[in-house]
Structure 1
Amino acid sequence: MSRPLRIEYAIALYHVTSRGDERKSIYREESDFNLFPDTLAEVCGRFNWAIHSWCL
């Protein structure tokens, strides 16, 4: 059974996290780690997201 769709609000703030299986690292190489900010910026531009704070 799939998860029900989340309700989204236009002016809401969302807290998003990522974690690897068994709390393992989600970056295999340093190049992956360095690529994340660029990918995040691209996605924010595409979906018109505003990031208020983030950390790696």
Structure 2
Amino acid sequence: MGGHGFYVWSAVIVTLIVIIGLIVRPLLQHRVVLNQIAQELAREKLRKKTTGEGN
């Protein structure tokens, strides 16, 4: 690579890390949002059950 191997491979590694991060982060955030929605639905169901509105 004409003496530029370190630069080229470090650029490739940094690029791969960024691309992987751009793929993984939204997936993890999606999971967190789904868990938050499930918790809120469970709280709402419990609230309706305890106040008698669910009948």
TM-score (norm 1): 0.32
Structure with the larger RCO, 1 or 2 (CA within 8 Å, 6+ apart): 2
TM-score (norm 2): 0.33
* Structure with the bigger percentage of helix: 2
Specify the structure having the higher radius of gyration (Cα): 2
